[in-house]
């Protein structure tokens, strides 16, 4: 959530940033926020003055009665009663104004970092770098949705029978390579200094609000209505919310956590090869890395997280590219996001496998996550990234490594899998 002081001191920058996020009626909303804040402050000042005057008169009444100044005492009592009535009116106005202000603030997205390129669509994202050699496959190369049937490692029809579309069943070597990827990604995170966390996969509304999924992505999450709990869309949510309403010491930082969870997303249905097979699922596995940093260190941490993900992709021998997302393609909560995409040789297109983002103080303000230093407290910066999401990684491994003898497993995964080829 944006801070009022930030908006007041940087009004023009705020409006420009909202426009780069393609937020409608930016000027009108900012003026509304500032108008409500002025009203809140004015009401608070009047309320404080009214209460102070009422308290002072209350103290005088006893002295007036003792001095035999009954008429003056009665007049003071009447004035005190009027002041108390006015105080109640002002308290109600203050509560109503604060509610209105809060409800407007939570609709505002985070402001983009100055390096975020202009643009509205994925085609306008900036390619930062490309790495690796795109493999050349024979003409009869198959996409992964055909390969998984050929080798009987993933069953979409069985998943549809059990649950519905987008919930695959992994079998045999398909299940083993899933487990191998999870363990490999976790080991890479631990070796990079992250503490492994195994969080709940159900969250309450407070947690959803803290990291910005609610109210922005309400319809995209599975909701257990009887208990009013939500299935997580990413481990970012429970892991970051471990620090909700927490004041950290400077010596606690940086905080680096990583966790594996299944993830659940009620994405709108669509058709075509771009969402076929493993390209888009309602349930999938992912390892998330989460960091809490001092503001002055957060962008160096973001670059470090990007390099961490790139290092994993290099070890998996997958060609990849890094994109800096444009304002219109970024998430509601992010200030700067890098997307990592791997090239799917059979589909002949890039597949997003990771997003690494800096949220600056946006989540911390919602979470009330602060650091105490020199007797003062300040908001911290939160960051997270996929390291990595499994489905499209697996799709690229299957497609890029297909041979007449079977699918070759990347060397780094062989000790985790226990086999070198899917045949």
CATH number at residue 27: 1.10.287
pLDDT class of 215 with cuts at 50, 70, 90: confident
Q: Are 16 and 135 in the same domain?
A: no
Same domain, 333 and 265: yes
Alpha carbon distances (Å) from 106 to 113, 207, 215, 396: 19, 14, 8, 38
**At residue 269, does pLDDT exceed 60?**
no
The two tokens of residue 391 are 């489905």
Are 64 and 199 found together in one domain? Answer: no
Question: Predicted confidence band at 69 (pLDDT cuts at 50, 70, 90)?
Answer: confident
Within this chain, do residues 368 and 399 fall inside the same structural domain, yes or no?
Answer: yes
Inter-residue contact 210 to 1 (CB < 8 Å)? no
Quickly list DSSP for 384-405: EEEEEEHHHHHHHHHHHTEETT
Residues 6+ apart with CB under 8 A from 186: 196, 258, 260, 287
Range of the domain at 52: 4-105
Q: Write down the pTM of the prediction.
A: 0.92
The residue out of 105, 131, 148 marking a domain boundary is 105
317-363 tens-digit pLDDT = 999 999 999 999 999 999 999 999 999 999 999 999 999 999 999 99
What's the domain count of the chain? 2
Within a domain: residue 269?
Answer: yes
Is residue 117 domain-resident? no
């Amino acid at each position: 959530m944006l801070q009022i002081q930030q908006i007041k001191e940087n009004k023009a920058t705020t409006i420009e940033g909202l426009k780069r996020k393609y937020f409608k009626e930016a000027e009108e909303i900012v003026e509304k926020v500032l108008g409500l804040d002025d009203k809140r402050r004015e009401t608070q000042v009047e309320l404080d003055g009214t209460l102070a005057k009422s308290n002072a008169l209350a103290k005088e009444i006893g002295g007036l009665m003792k001095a035999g100044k009954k008429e003056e005492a009665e007049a003071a009592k009447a004035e005190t009663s009027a002041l108390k009535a006015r105080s109640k009116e002002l308290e109600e106005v203050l509560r109503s104004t604060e509610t209105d202000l809060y409800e407007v603030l939570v609709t505002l997205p985070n402001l983009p970092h100055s390096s975020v390129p202009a643009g509205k669509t994925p085609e306008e994202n900036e390619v930062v770098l490309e790495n690796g050699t795109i493999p050349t496959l024979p003409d009869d190369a198959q996409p992964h949705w055909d390969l998984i049937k050929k080798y009987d490692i993933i069953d979409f029809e069985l998943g549809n029978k059990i649950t519905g579309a987008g919930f695959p069943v992994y079998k045999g070597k398909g299940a083993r390579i899933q487990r191998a990827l999870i363990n490999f990604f976790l080991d890479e995170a631990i070796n990079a200094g992250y503490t492994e966390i195994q969080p709940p996969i159900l969250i309450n509304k407070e947690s959803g609000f803290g990291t910005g999924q609610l109210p922005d992505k309400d319809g995209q999450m599975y909701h257990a209505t009887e208990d009013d709990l939500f299935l997580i869309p990413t481990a970012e949510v429970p892991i970051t919310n471990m620090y909700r309403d927490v004041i950290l010491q400077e010596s606690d930082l940086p905080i680096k956590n990583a966790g594996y969870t299944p993830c659940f997303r009620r994405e709108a249905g669509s058709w075509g090869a771009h969402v076929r097979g493993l390209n888009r699922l309602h349930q999938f596995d992912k390892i998330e890395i989460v960091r809490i940093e001092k503001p002055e260190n957060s962008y160096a941490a973001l670059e470090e997280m990007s390099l961490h993900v790139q290092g994993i992709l290099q070890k998996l021998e997958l060609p990849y590219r890094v994109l800096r997302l444009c304002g219109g393609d970024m998430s509601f909560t992010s200030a700067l996001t890098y997307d990592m995409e791997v090239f799917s040789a059979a589909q002949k297109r890039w597949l997003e496998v990771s997003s690494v983002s800096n949220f600056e103080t946006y989540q911390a303000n919602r979470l009330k996550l602060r650091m105490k230093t020199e007797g003062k407290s300040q908001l911290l910066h939160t960051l997270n990234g996929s390291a990595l999401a499994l489905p499209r990684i697996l799709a690229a491994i299957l497609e890029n490594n297909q041979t007449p003898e079977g699918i070759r497993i990347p060397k780094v995964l062989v000790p985790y899998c226990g086999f070198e080829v899917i045949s």
